[in-house]
């Protein structure tokens, strides 16, 4: 997939990125080479 789309050198902020669709988005962006910062309402245990 990296040949098709690359986010290398890019930064992304994903809100609600610890569960569900947000977590999937974080995983995909990281796989594509982006540096990702995410937020959540509470700590995940």
- Band of the pLDDT at 25, cuts 50, 70, 90? very high
- Band of the pLDDT at 45, cuts 50, 70, 90? low
Domain count, the chain: 1
How far CA 42 is from CA of 6, 10, 15, in Å, comes to 31, 26, 12
The domain in which residue 15 lies consists of 1-45
Q: What is the mean pLDDT of the chain?
A: 89
Q: Is the dihedral of CA 26, 20, 13, 43 positive or negative?
A: negative
Check if the beta carbon of residue 20 is closer than 8 Å to that of residue 28.
no
What is the model's pTM? 0.80
- Rounded Cα distance between 38 and 13, Å, is 6
């Amino acid at each position: 997939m990296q040949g098709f789309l690359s986010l290398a050198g890019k930064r992304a902020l994903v809100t609600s990125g610890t569960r569900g669709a947000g977590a999937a988005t974080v995983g995909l962006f990281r796989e594509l080479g982006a540096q990702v910062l995410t937020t959540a309402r509470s700590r995940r245990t």
